[in-house]
Amino acid sequence: MPKPPGNRKKLKGASVKSSTAKTRAKGSSKGTARPSLSAGQLFERAQQALAFERYDAALECMRDALQLEPENTDIIDAHGALLAELGRVEEAVQELQKAVALSPDTGFEKYMYLGQLLQGEEAVAATQKGVELLQEDVERSRQAGQGSKGPSKQLAAALCSLAEMKMSQAEDVTAVAGEAEGLLQRARSADPSSPEPLQALASLRYEQGNSEEALQLLKQSMQLWFRQQRSSEDEDDDGDDDDDGDGGEELPEAEAAAAEFAKLKKPTTMSEDMDEQQQQQEEGSEEEEWEDEEEEDDMPSYEFRFECAKMLLELDDTTETAIQVLEDLLAENDSVLDVWHLLGLSYYSGGMLKEAEEICSMGLQLLHKQHVGPEEDIALSFQDLQSAIQEAHAAEGGEQ
């Protein structure tokens, strides 16, 4: 289940204002009695359990806390969010709707979760309310002169979710195109650094049948987060271009940005002063570590990048970029079957049958490891891919 914007990893940092006083142990002739815990202390234990991914223990602590303070909306919100993350949909909806009834005009998170868990107009209404509350948070932050970009980023993500929800539920996307574009424009204004509005707009253009503009928008979105890997052949070509001058065709924007990025990192030569080299290496190591952390924080979600790869496979003439995006995803998490299948399909579409066969084989092994039944959709997709690869191999053999 996709995680709603603004809710990722928020449970660990939540706070509870408990009205229950801490019970102190009183001594007796038979020994010291064990003190009972307040709702706030129980919730702190739940947070500690979450930090170590002990979800059952966290749920137990939250339930005990709610027995002491059944109307503590902070604990109810966190309890409902955890149930949602664990896929316990009915329980999560019940708990989050209870939080809405107790505190309808504060706390956007519960509405964003409900937008993901509910269906149809109920989902749209919940997401819309979450957006309204987020907008109010952003306005309050601006009036208070606070420089935090957090609320603006959350608002942009929520607006994109609302636009995509309206597009997916519309029988005719052209009927909601204007409204969706308005929401996406608001998202871009809220957070110009976010790639989500441009990718969502690319999806809208694709649905409208304008593939050329869709690809252009998708590449603009990717410029905000994607770094193209450069092969040795590309570097040799750059060297030839330097010898010949600045002539030749202009690179597309995404490739040009990658080229400029690559030029910033030239290797140190042997003739440079050793002290200076050592200093540069030390500084470079610190900068690279900082940049790696910064890039990880700014990287779009796993699901977002997977959708980007799917669109690239639909829109781009080549499969090279889609393959890189998917391989990066597998390097991050190699347990997602859909990513393995799409990577195999990308290699197959690019005519790289050997690589496609290897990826397909690894995906089939993962299917078995995860006990996926042969009748499930992803298993059938792998079977279709395997058959297509075998047919392509047979056709190559016939031509020879």
Domain boundaries along the sequence of the chain: 1-15+38-140+152-170, 302-399
Name the burial class of residue 95, with classes exposed (0-12), middle (13-18) and buried (19+) by CB atoms within 10 angstroms of its CB.
buried
More confident residue, 336 or 243: 336
Q: Is residue 235 helix, strand or coil? A: helix
* Chain CA centroid to CA 95, Å: 25
**CATH fold for the domain made of 1-15+38-140+152-170:** 1.25.40
Assign domain 302-399 to its CATH superfamily. Answer: Tetratricopeptide repeat domain (1.25.40.10)
Q: Mean pLDDT score of the chain, rounded to an integer?
A: 82
Beta-bridged to residue 27, according to DSSP, are 32
pLDDT at res. 145: 79
Report the number of secondary-structure helices (H) and strands (E) in the chain. 18, 2
Nearest to 6 by CA among 184, 130, 136, 191: 130
Partners of residue 31 on adjacent β-strands: 28
368 phi, psi to nearest 5 deg: -65, -40
Q: Do domains 1-15+38-140+152-170 and 302-399 have the same CATH topology?
A: yes
Spatial contact of 136 and 156, defined as CB atoms under 8 Å apart: no
Taking a C-beta distance cutoff of 8 angstroms, is the pair 219, 322 a contact? no
**Is residue 238 scored above 60 in pLDDT?**
no
pLDDT bin (cut points 50, 70, 90) of residue 141 is confident
CA-closest candidate to residue 331, choices 198, 229, 239:
229
Per-residue pLDDT reduced to its tens digit, 49-78: 999 999 999 999 999 999 999 999 999 999
Tens of pLDDT, residues 77-101: 999 999 999 999 999 999 999 999 9
Average pLDDT over residues 349-375: 97
What confidence score (pLDDT) does residue 397 get?
74
Question: What pLDDT, on the 0 to 100 scale, is given for residue 265?
Answer: 35
pLDDT tier at 25, thresholds 50, 70, 90? very low
Residues 173-231 pLDDT 10s:
999 999 999 999 999 999 999 999 999 999 999 999 999 999 999 999 999 999 877 55
Q: From CA 127, how far away is CA 144, in angstroms rounded?
A: 26
Cα–Cα distance, 86 to 59 (Å, whole number)? 10
pLDDT band of residue 235 (cuts 50, 70, 90) is: low
Please say whether the beta carbons of 71 and 101 come within 8 A.
Answer: no
Closest CA to 322 of 301, 300, 307: 307
36 or 60, greater pLDDT? 60
Q: In the predicted model, is pLDDT for residue 123 greater than 70?
A: yes
The predicted pLDDT at position 228 comes to 78
Whole-angstrom distance, CA of residue 376 vs CA of residue 370: 12
Q: What is the pLDDT of residues 282-307, one digit of tens each?
A: 555 444 444 444 455 579 999 999 99
The answer, yes or no, to whether residue 37 has pLDDT greater than 60, is yes
CB 77 within 8 A of CB 99: yes
pLDDT at 392 over 60: yes
